[in-house]
């Protein structure tokens, strides 16, 4: 198929998450330009992380914030032990995280009916009455506080287990600068605010005004607002952060 007719699409997902979207773009006749603006790396406090993992059975709820949280949690843990919990419920922030848990051999007890945000998860009936219950939120370093804050207001005890950090990768930007100069970059895909900020940093020194006019596909209203504040003028929000939803939005932009 040639729906994308040779259009160059910048794929900024971390390298280990870019293959599927890139393949989908290629299948439709596009040219996927892999340009990771984030890298996911383990934290150095491995012993402290393992100590928390050893105590996970004392929590009523384990909440995984992303597919990366699932992957990096497995990096530190004994997978045979973590799947034997009887009184702990496993929560995924969205469908991609739920699928990552299933692929890792976990049983997923709760995932939001719609959406992939803390707000969607907090709307679930199972999380309305959680007074005195213990939650462990597994995530990357830093991040939003809405989920923990809301659960605490409902009387829950909430701890964090941070299992990775996001860093700006080293990149040779020559090829992408060339596409910009020749007006050959058709669409940019962005899946986080940090990825967007890193994109601007990596491409600093080029024609920023031209960059801001390229159609930008994002995965949330929060990122859309950030992009608009930066100065992007052609922003479209995909229905979800899934590769298929991002691809549908790319097609519309092209």
Sorted by where each begins, the domain ranges of the chain are 8-38+169-253, 41-166
Asked if the model's pLDDT at residue 83 lies above 70, the reply is no
Per-residue pLDDT, 105 = 87
Model pLDDT for residues 228-251, shown as the tens digit of each residue? 999 999 999 999 888 999 999 999
Domains 8-38+169-253 and 41-166 alike in fold: yes
Across the range 11-24, mean pLDDT stands at 94
Average pLDDT (82-110) is 85
Q: What is the CATH number of domain 41-166?
A: 3.40.50.10090
The pLDDT assigned to 78 comes to 64
pLDDT tens digits, one per residue of 183-232: 999 999 999 999 999 999 999 877 788 999 999 999 999 999 999 999 99
CATH of domain 8-38+169-253: 3.40.50.10090
Give percent above pLDDT 70 in the chain: 96
Torsion angle (degrees, nearest 10) of CA 183, 8, 248, 27: 160
Mean pLDDT, residues 37-56: 90
Q: Lowest-pLDDT range, 47-56, 77-86, 120-129? A: 77-86
- Bigger pLDDT: 251 or 113? 251
**Virtual torsion, Cα 254, 197, 193, 195, nearest 10 deg:** 70
Average pLDDT across the chain, whole number: 91
**Would you say 151 and 135 are in contact if contact means Cβ atoms under 8 Å apart?**
yes
User: Number of helices and strands (H, E) in the chain?
Assistant: 12, 11
Convert the pLDDT of each residue in 118-177 to its tens digit: 888 999 999 999 999 999 999 999 878 899 999 999 999 999 999 999 999 999 999 999
3-class DSSP state for residue 94? coil
User: What pLDDT score was predicted for residue 168?
Assistant: 94
pLDDT at 84: 57
DSSP 146-203: HHHHHHHHTT-EEEEEEEEEEEPPP---HHHHHHHHTT-EEEEE--SHHHHHHHHHHT
The conformation of residue 9, written as its DSSP 8-state character, comes to E
């Amino acid at each position: 198929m040639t729906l994308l007719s040779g259009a160059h699409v910048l794929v900024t997902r971390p390298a280990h998450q870019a293959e599927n979207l890139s393949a989908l773009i290629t299948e439709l006749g596009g040219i996927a330009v892999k340009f990771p603006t984030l890298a996911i790396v383990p934290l150095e406090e491995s012993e402290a992380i393992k100590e928390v993992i050893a105590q996970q059975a004392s929590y009523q709820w384990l909440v995984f914030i992303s597919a990366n949280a699932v992957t990096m949690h497995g990096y530190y843990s004994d997978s045979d032990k973590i799947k034997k919990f009887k009184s702990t419920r496993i929560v995924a922030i969205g469908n991609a995280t739920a699928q990552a848990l299933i692929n890792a051999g976990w049983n997923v007890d709760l995932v939001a009916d719609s959406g992939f945000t803390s707000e969607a998860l907090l709307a679930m009936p199972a999380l309305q009455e959680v007074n005195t219950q213990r939650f462990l939120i597994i995530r990357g370093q830093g991040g939003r506080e809405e989920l923990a804050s809301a659960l605490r207001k409902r009387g829950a005890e909430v701890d964090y287990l941070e299992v990775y950090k996001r860093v700006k990768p080293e990149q040779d930007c020559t090829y992408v600068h060339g596409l910009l100069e020749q007006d050959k970059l058709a669409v940019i895909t962005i899946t986080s605010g940090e990825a967007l900020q890193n994109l601007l940093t990596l491409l600093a020194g080029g024609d920023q005004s031209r960059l801001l006019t390229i159609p930008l596909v994002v995965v949330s209203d929060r990122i859309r607002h950030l992009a608009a504040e930066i100065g992007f003028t052609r922003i479209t929000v995909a229905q979800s952060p899934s590769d298929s939803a991002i691809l549908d939005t790319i097609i519309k932009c092209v």
